[in-house]
Amino acid sequence: MNIIEISRLTYVYAAAKENTPALNGINLNIGEGEFVAIVGANGSGKSTLARHLNALLLPTEGTCKVMGLDTARPENLWDIRRQVGLVFQNPDNQLVAAIVEDEVAFGPENLGLPPAEIRLRVDKALQAVGLTEQLHFAPHLLSGGQKQRLAIAGALAMEPKCLVLDEATAMLDPQGREEVMQVARDLREQGLTLICITHFMEEAALADRVVVMHQGKIVAQGTPKEILAATDLAKWGLEPPLATEIADRLRRRGLNLPRGICREDELVATLCP
């Protein structure tokens, strides 16, 4: 079953000059339990697309359906937002509460759940991201990676079907990035649909499917091997992952390496069998 069904979606920002669409005729289906990475250079429209997935933005033309619910219909709004958790880029600007457990409780509180149920969900969500010990911390005392994990816990407490990370690792240091991606992979193992919007190709390499966006359009999609190890990423303003780059250079030096290496562990396994 498809969680997300987008057809012929076009979106024009009201303030845009000359009505240049930020998204131009997007068609995209995402199945339940899938891990999709959406990559693209700055201004390619990937964040705009993310905001359509839980009805923060509504299509100018075309449709966007979440679990079969049309985002354009106001009566579907809260059901859609409950099903799709969104984690944003800036760790400091998306945390509402002055204490960790209240932060996670914010979503369930908005849903009007009974306090005992909220308690259960808060504990479960904090455990899922490994922040149980920081229950009573103030968010500003957490590291960047911890803040983003907290934001993920806040989304998880709504028990969504699908989690969208909108460049959630862009402002983190490498360690924080690793923490967040580890949590994302764990959640994915548990069957959550994961949509990861990123410009780190190393993150995209972990996905089942990579969707490349360029100037408001989907220009390519396929498995990480097909997309990331392809040579023409540069024409979309993207660079191949480091592992692919190294494999390419070694190949040019005459080492006989197979094509389609895009993860560090694959490269290591190939070089040291």
Partner 1 sequence: MLNDIALGRYFPGNSLLHRLDPRIKIVLLFLFLAIIFLWVNSLVYLALGSMTAALIFTAKIPLRMVATSLKPLWWIILFTFLLHFFGTEGEGIFQLGSLTATWEGLKQGGLITFRLALLIILSALLTFTTDPLALTDAIESLLSPLKRFGVPAHELAMMMTIALRFIPTIIEETDRIIKAQESRGADFTTGNILTRVKNFVPILVPLFIAAFRRADDLATAMEARCYRGGEGRTRLRRLQLGRLDYTACGVSALIVGGIFLLTQWGII
Binding site for partner 1 (CB under 8 A): 54, 56, 78, 81-82, 85-86, 88, 90, 92-99, 101-102, 105-115, 118-119, 122, 138-140, 151, 154-155, 158
Give 5 or 101: the residue with its C-beta nearer to partner 1: 101
Output the smallest distance, CB 95 to partner 1, in A.
Answer: 7
CA 111/CA 124 separation, integer angstroms? 17
C-alpha pair distances (Å), 234 with each of 42, 46, 131, 239: 13, 17, 39, 6
Task: Choose among 202, 193, 179, 176: nearest CA to 264.
Answer: 202
| Sequence-separated (6 or more) residues with CB below 8 Å from residue 175 | 145
Q: How far is CA 151 from the centre of its chain?
A: 13
Residues 6+ apart with CB under 8 A from 6: 26, 27, 28, 29, 49, 52, 62, 63, 64, 65
163 contacts 112 by C-beta, under 8 angstroms: no
- Between 15 and 272, CB nearer to partner 1: 15
Min dist. Cβ of residue 202 to partner 1 (A): 26
Closest CB 85 distance from partner 1, rounded Å: 8
Closest CB to partner 1 among 78 and 269?
78
| Shortest reach from residue 25's CB to partner 1, in Å | 25
Q: Closest distance between partner 1 and the C-beta of residue 246, in Å?
A: 37
Residue type, 19: N
Residue with tokens 């229950």: 135
Cβ proximity to partner 1: between 65 and 82 the closer is: 82
